[in-house]
């Protein structure tokens, strides 16, 4: 196997492959590798950890057809720092060489026969707007848990409603819900839970693409965008009953400008530790934000705001609050609340398709 290719193009694909390749399975070393296959002027790069796989198709100057499997992280790191714009890759015997200009590296290969066959969803795909789906991922995936001991919370629920598809994620401390009006990627009444890690990687792959395709199988989903194909095993779990957490109405609603609110929380986070909440005093004409961290210091900000309801003071985890504000689009944001010990809901003014619910954090003073 031998080919020549633009370094930047290859490096980008290898970085994606290295993120997916397993670094935990010592029993199957090939899972930590990236699979190269050259046919003519087409290179297919594939990485997998058996649950998630990604495949890239690249146009190259093919010099010799063949296959090879090599450490994904190692070859990604090497290609990224090569000095020339063009890189030559050649596999001979038990080694693969990476050369550019006066630089040459040789890496030991894994047995290509040990690399697993990738199974895609294998069903008819539907074309969807990549831009809208990427925006939805940006808003929702952040609320999924990374704790594998709570497997159901590591996924994103996708469920077909009568006139839309709804995407939901929660880690039990916050909840993100995004409606996709008119979306038809799921059949009527269908419900799946997609691993948040897979969707986070998909978000990276979408980039500036305009369209993408999605196919659903019995236990897996396949997404194609640009020259990349991502396939993930679906989670066979029961997603939490989330609708009961969202009240039909809230007696208190504060409206303020989103960007100053976001920047104020970012500044106060400098002093806020995980166990130190940011205090929000929602007053008649303003929001007063403050944080007091023992042995570090304190900070305070005050922003213009409009309150519809009663004045209320609530504490929030600074990271969860920041994530919610960041996920919301638009110039203004509302904070809807009932009382200091019940969840609050953040929404963009005029946006009925997204909400971010966050649990309060107890204030000690």
* pLDDT class of 122 with cuts at 50, 70, 90: confident
Q: Mind giving me the DSSP string for 237-256?
A: SPPP--GGGS-S--SEEEEE
**Per CATH, is 2-114 categorized as 3.10.150.10?**
yes
- The answer to whether 82 touches 7, Cβ cutoff 8 Å, is yes
- The answer to whether 81 touches 190, Cβ cutoff 8 Å, is no
Q: What's CA 355's distance to the chain center, in Å?
A: 17
How far is the C-alpha of 253 from the C-alpha of 338, rounded, in Å?
A: 9
pLDDT at residue 261 is higher than 80: yes
pLDDT score recorded for residue 200: 95
Question: What does the pLDDT average to over 198-216?
Answer: 94
Q: Report the CATH superfamily, name and number, of domain 126-244.
A: DNA Polymerase III, subunit A, domain 2 (3.10.150.10)
C-alpha closest to that of 232 among 258, 193, 204, 206 = 193
Question: What does the pLDDT average to over 31-36?
Answer: 96
pLDDT score recorded for residue 26: 65
pLDDT at residue 182 is higher than 90: no
* pLDDT class of 189 with cuts at 50, 70, 90: confident
pLDDT score recorded for residue 365: 66
| Lowest-confidence segment of 133-137, 217-221, 302-306, 345-349 by average pLDDT | 217-221
More confident: 186 or 148: 148
Q: Report the CATH superfamily, name and number, of domain 247-358.
A: DNA Polymerase III, subunit A, domain 2 (3.10.150.10)
How far is the C-alpha of 261 from the C-alpha of 280, rounded, in Å?
A: 11
| Residue 53 half-sphere exposure toward CB, CA atoms < 13 A | 25
Share of the chain above pLDDT 90, in %: 84
pLDDT score recorded for residue 224: 96
Domain residue spans of the chain:
2-114, 126-244, 247-358
**Fold match flag (126-244 vs 247-358):** yes
How buried is residue 116: exposed, middle or buried, by Cβ count under 10 Å (0-12/13-18/19+)? Answer: middle
pLDDT at residue 222 is higher than 90: yes
DSSP lists the bridge partners of residue 114 as none
């Amino acid at each position: 196997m031998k080919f020549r290719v633009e370094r930047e193009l290859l490096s980008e694909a290898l970085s994606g492959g290295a993120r997916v390749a397993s670094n935990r399975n010592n029993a199957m070393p090939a899972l930590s590798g990236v699979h190269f296959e050259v046919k003519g002027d087409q290179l297919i790069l594939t990485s997998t950890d058996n649950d998630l796989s990604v495949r890239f198709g690249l146009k190259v100057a093919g010099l010799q057809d063949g296959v090879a499997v090599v450490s994904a992280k190692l070859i990604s790191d090497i290609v990224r720092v090569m000095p020339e714009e063009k890189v030559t890759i050649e596999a001979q015997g038990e080694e693969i060489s990476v050369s550019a200009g006066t630089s040459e590296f040789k890496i030991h290969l894994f047995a290509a026969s040990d690399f697993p066959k990738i199974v895609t969803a294998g069903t008819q795909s539907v074309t969807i707007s990549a831009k809208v789906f990427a925006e939805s991922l940006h808003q929702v995936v952040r609320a999924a848990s990374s704790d594998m001991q709570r497997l159901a919370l590591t996924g994103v629920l996708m469920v077909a409603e009568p006139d839309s598809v709804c995407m939901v994620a929660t880690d039990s401390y916050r909840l993100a819900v995004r409606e996709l009006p008119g979306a038809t990627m799921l059949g009527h009444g269908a419900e799946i839970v997609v691993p948040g890690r897979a969707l986070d990687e998909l978000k990276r792959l979408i980039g500036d693409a305009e369209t993408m395709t999605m196919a659903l199988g019995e236990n897996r989903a396949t997404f194609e965008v640009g020259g990349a194909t991502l396939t993930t095993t679906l989670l066979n779990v029961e997603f939490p009953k989330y609708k009961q957490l969202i009240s039909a109405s809230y007696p208190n609603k504060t409206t303020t400008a989103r960007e100053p609110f976001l920047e104020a929380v970012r500044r106060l986070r400098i002093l806020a530790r995980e166990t130190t909440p940011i205090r929000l005093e929602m007053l008649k004409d303003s929001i007063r934000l403050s944080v007091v961290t023992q042995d570090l210091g304190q900070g305070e900000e005050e922003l213009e705001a409009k309150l519809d309801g009663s004045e209320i003071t609530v504490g929030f985890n600074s990271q969860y609050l920041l994530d919610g504000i960041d996920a919301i689009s638009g110039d203004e944001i509302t904070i809807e609340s009932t009382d200091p010990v019940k969840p609050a809901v953040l929404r963009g003014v005029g946006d009925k398709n997204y909400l971010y619910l966050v649990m309060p954090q107890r204030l000690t003073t």
